[in-house]
Amino acid sequence: MSSGLEACFLLHHKPYQESSVLIDVLTQNSGKISLIAKGVRQQKAKYLGLLRPFLPLNISYTGAGGLKLLNHAEAGNSEMILPGINTYCGFYLNELIRYFVPIDEPYPDIFLAYFTCLQQLKTQQPIEAALRNFEVQLMQALGYELQLQYDYFTNKPIKPDLSYRFDLEQGASVDPEGKISGATLIAMHRGTYTEQNQLNEAKWLMRQVIDFHLQGKTLQSRNLILKLQQKPACKSN
């Protein structure tokens, strides 16, 4: 049960019975929760038009089980209007959260990372680094440890001029035939990329990490982006 209003973003919604909607939201303090919004599909419903992705919301709800009841919703700060294909990148973030974040467990770091990434998606500048940073922060917050600072075999610091292979369960180790550079691993740890090649390698690595933990599940948003076209504004998935 929420006490007062809680900041959140809608991740997903689907019709329920004749006039209601089932929604998943990511809240600032309570993590991901599922709610029933009663009567919102009626023409004069109180929250008609409010329950949509990328709009900051403040909500209150009741219930202690898996499915809670939405009592109140109001718009928060200005809406995150995402230009062009960046909208689909936003859906990609939502889908990652829906797959990976467990229900009813607080993850304030993930909420902050999500909010930050949405702000960056609002801009027209390339946002590949923003997406990679969110993916890394999501995995780290959930305990899927990405060892980006040390060679797991020798325990020596990652060197920018060496090549590495990356074991998805243990981390990086020096390998002259490795597919990822030390400079990329360092960039991923710092969240700052200086070359396009680093972004390309980070994208490749995070695809491996995410697919490994998806355990055979597919991301619809990833397929949509690939079908649309590869644009500089969103070379993500």
Q: List the strands of the sheet with 180-181, edge to edge.
A: 171-174, 163-167, 180-181
Q: What percent of the chain has pLDDT over 90?
A: 65
Displacement of CA 49 from its chain's centroid (Å):
23
> pLDDT at position 45, please?
67
Both structure tokens of 72 = 């109140």
Domain boundaries, the chain: 6-75, 86-234
Per DSSP, the three-state class of 15 is strand
Q: What would the mean pLDDT of 190-202 be, rounded to a whole number? A: 95
With bands split at pLDDT 50, 70 and 90, how would you rate the model's confidence at 234? very low
Range 120-123, long-range pairs (CB < 8 A, 24+ positions) = 121/80, 121/82, 121/86, 121/89, 121/90, 122/80, 122/81, 122/82, 122/83, 122/86
Question: Which CATH architecture does the domain made up of 6-75 adopt?
Answer: Beta Barrel (2.40)
Question: Which residues lie below 8 Å from residue 102, measured CB to CB, with a gap of 6+?
Answer: 31, 32
Both structure tokens of 205 = 């690595």
Residue among 163, 31, 16 nearest 100 (CA): 31
CATH superfamily of 86-234: Recombination protein O, C-terminal domain (1.20.1440.120)
Predicted TM-score of the model (pTM): 0.89
What is the amino acid identity at position 233? A
For 169-182, the pLDDT digits (tens) are: 899 999 999 999 99
SS3 content of the chain, % helix, strand, coil (to 5): 35, 25, 40
Helix H or strand E encompassing 34 = strand 31-37
What does the alpha-carbon distance between residue 63 and residue 61 come to, in Å, rounded to a whole number? 7
Q: Average pLDDT over the chain, rounded to whole?
A: 88
What does the alpha-carbon distance between residue 117 and residue 220 come to, in Å, rounded to a whole number? 20
For 202-214, the pLDDT digits (tens) are: 999 999 999 999 9
- Name which of 43-47, 65-69, 104-108 the model is least confident about: 43-47
**Looking at the predicted structure, is the pLDDT value of residue 30 above 50?**
yes
Question: Which residues lie below 8 Å from residue 123, measured CB to CB, with a gap of 6+?
Answer: none
